[in-house]
Structure 1
Amino acid sequence: MDFVEKRLTQRAKRGDREAFAELIEIYKDKIFQLAYRMVGNRQDAEDIAQETFLRVYANLHSYDDSYKFSTWIYRIATNLCIDRGRKKRPDFSLDEETEPGQGMDWYSRLSSSEKTPEDKVVTQELQETVQGALSQLQPKYRSIMILRYIEDLSLQEISDIVKLPITTIKTRIHRGREALRSKLRLM
């Protein structure tokens, strides 16, 4: 993947729109998921993902090929999420998570190899509980926890994204886990 990304970024830097479209295709879901986990709101996550790609396109000429493209794009998205959190006070909606008509055709989703409906509900409730606890963490801990445990990035990659030393990353992971643990106990 790194070789493919490197070729795509080189082509995109030369103005190849198809190469840039391929980069968007590779990262659109990852960036949306990162943003959604950080801001907890589908509309804001879509806006952040779109803004991320706009900034990537506008600043592609300044991208340094010696760094992984994923590190660069995650840094942009993470910074946009943190900025959004600073500008906007949290708003809570009891019905925000349920969106009727969004792929809820149960008959097409059930098959013998899938989890039972009860298992799906339990899994969804657990994911919502963890997402709720994550959304209550301070942004400096939330971003690190998402990058480490959900995006499964290495400490070095996280360090490159947030521009902090690895020792600080380790400290924030430890404190983030403790904060998450105490939030989950209260839920």
Structure 2
Amino acid sequence: MSFFAPYKNQSDADLVALISKGNSGAFREILIRYQNAVYGFAFSILKDAQEAEDISQEIFLRLYRTADSYRSVAALKTYLFRITRNLCIDHLRKMRPEAMTNPPESVTTKTPLNQFCAAELKKQIDLVLSGLPKNQRAAIYLRHEQGMDYREIAETLGVTRHAVESLLSRARRSFRSRFKF
């Protein structure tokens, strides 16, 4: 039995209350529950593993420092994601490059880690997409890979615009339920 097992069955709100009293076991349980999700969300916005890790650490440090002011109006995951989104947007604004008169000839952010992460993410996405029904997969591809509008997709698939909306809605819902990052 793990030393931190007593925290597994406690609600997020109870854990945050314990964190506000300095309970490190409760904090560890929150990390276990949400660290990967927060990192994944930050990475999806920033597209940079190191920056996403830094933002994730900042999120949990803020939670630890301000746990006593947390009010469980929204789910903790929602609260953490909202903070993540805001910090990522702030970070991107700070990082916005100034106009360059003489840009360098070649600027690359293709590090081995970024390439590996991108390849792994693509494999996971492709795997989830391959499990979707054929029409949903086609609609997703035409919309997101080819940039077609709903009318063009309807013409291509030989269905109505309403059917395209329905296909895309079901495909996205299915994708979200199956995709685990």
Instruction: Output aligned runs, 1:1-187, within 5 Å.
Output: 4-89=11-96, 92-96=108-112, 97-99=114-116, 123-124=122-123, 181=143, 184-185=145-146
Counterparts in 2 of 1:19 and 1:125: CA distance versus 1, 3 Å: closer
Shift of 1:124: 2.4
Counterparts in 2 of 1:88 and 1:66: CA distance versus 1, 3 Å: same
Alignment RMSD: 3.3
Q: In structure 2, what is the Cα distance between the partners aligned to 1:125 and 1:71?
A: 24
The amino acid of 2:73's aligned partner reads S
Shift of 1:14: 2.1
Counterparts in 2 of 1:88 and 1:8: CA distance versus 1, 3 Å: same
Q: Name structure 1 gaps, 5 residues minimum.
A: 103-119, 128-179
Q: Which has the larger radius of gyration?
A: 2
Counterparts in 2 of 1:122 and 1:47: CA distance versus 1, 3 Å: closer
Counterparts in 2 of 1:20 and 1:125: CA distance versus 1, 3 Å: closer
Shift of 1:71: 1.6
Q: In structure 1, what is the Cα distance between the partners aligned to 2:79 and 2:21?
A: 18
Q: Name structure 2 gaps, 5 residues minimum.
A: 1-7, 98-106, 127-141, 148-181
Q: Which has the higher contact order (CA 8 A, sep 6+)?
A: 1
Shift of 1:94: 3.2
SS of the aligned residue for 2:11 comes to helix
Q: Which residue of 2 aligns with 1:133?
A: none
The amino acid of 2:146's aligned partner reads R
Work out the percentage of aligned pairs sharing the same amino acid. Answer: 30
Counterparts in 2 of 1:2 and 1:121: CA distance versus 1, 3 Å: closer
Q: In structure 2, what is the Cα distance between the partners aligned to 1:88 and 1:68?
A: 30
The amino acid of 1:56's aligned partner reads L
Q: In structure 1, what is the Cα distance between the partners aligned to 2:11 and 2:84?
A: 21
Could you tell me whether the CA contact under 8 Å between 2:20 and 2:66 is conserved in 1? no
The amino acid of 2:91's aligned partner reads R
